[in-house]
Amino acid sequence: MSTERERLLLVDGMALMFRAYYASAASGYIRRTKAGLPTNAIYGFMRYFWDAVEKFEPSHVACCWDLSSKTFRKEQYPSYKGNRSEAPDELIPQFSVIREVMDSLGIPNISAEGFEADDCIGTLASAYCSDMDVLVLTGDHDMLQLVNDCTSILIMKKGHGNYMVYTPESLMEERQLTPRQIIDVKGLMGDPSDNYPGVRGIGEKTAVKLIQEYHDIEGVLRNLELLSKGVRTKIEQDLEMLHLSRELATIRCDVELVCSMDHCRLEFDHQLVISKFEELEMKSICAWLGVAAG
């Protein structure tokens, strides 16, 4: 990545929020304001977010969110994410407050009806990576398909401030796959966390081997006669689901979004920020941000 170009940090709000909630809720203690509002996810979210800002020094930031479970993927495959449990009661009121916190920092909250946060991130990365370096902060390995010469994926590792930074080179070194091949592997093996099966009976090891050997799903299908009878039969029996799974795995980069880079520049009104964190009884965060709380 260039050191001269400005940097856009795209935050996967959903990934940070859930990670922040469960990291602190595991101890059984939920941080709350005097009025009883749970704030553990808000506090943890800010810690993860500001760690990344300090480490990667973006000039611009946008935060992307899911709007609801009603997406085009759910229409294509009604069981999509059908295995997800409801959000914990203590997390639900924090959804909107985290967005308010980002508003107070002057950071746009981006979402689109019928699409997921991933699609908003893919669209913004695609739209702006010719003009600036793009960094995606997430814990979701599906995002690796977005890696290119000007888009890096920052996968949060255990603990604060630990990241695996994926570029085309580090992705190839670690997995011997290109970003595009990440999608084809998911098409073959499916994704239990998103609840779509791929080709039943084909796991990650076989999927990776097939894509490495035949380059993509089309290459695999052109060479079915070279595969073992068992693998060939599984693919032939699940051909329709193979194509659907690849479609479900593909992050869309063409969502209609309104997001001007002028509004994404990381500059915030100190008084607004102080007021918000005092309201949430989190004055310590003001010190991280370099604003003086009263």
Least confident among 23-32, 90-99, 131-140, 279-288: 23-32
Contact 242, 220 (CB under 8 A): no
- Provide the pLDDT for residue 49: 95
DSSP string, 90-133: TTHHHHHHHHHHHHHTTPPEE--TTS-HHHHHHHHHHHHTTTSE
Tell me the DSSP string of 63-97: EE----S--HHHHH-TTTTTTPPPPPTTTHHHHHH
Whether 3 has a pLDDT exceeding 60, the answer reads: no
Instruction: Quote the percentage of the chain above a pLDDT of 70.
Output: 97
Contact 246, 187 (CB under 8 A): yes
Domain locations in the chain? 7-167+259-289, 179-249
Predicted confidence (pLDDT) at residue 159 exceeds the cutoff of 80:
no
Q: CA-CA distance, 285 to 293, in Å (whole number)? A: 9
Return the CATH fold of 7-167+259-289. Answer: Rossmann fold (3.40.50)
Report the distance separating Cα 242 and Cα 197, nearest Å: 8
- Do the beta carbons of residue 123 and residue 258 sit within 8 Å? no
Is it the case that residue 169 has pLDDT exceeding 70? yes
For the domain made up of 179-249, give the CATH fold: DNA polymerase; domain 1 (1.10.150)
What pLDDT sits at residue 69? 76
**pLDDT at position 223 over 70:** yes
pTM of the model: 0.94
pLDDT of residue 83: 82
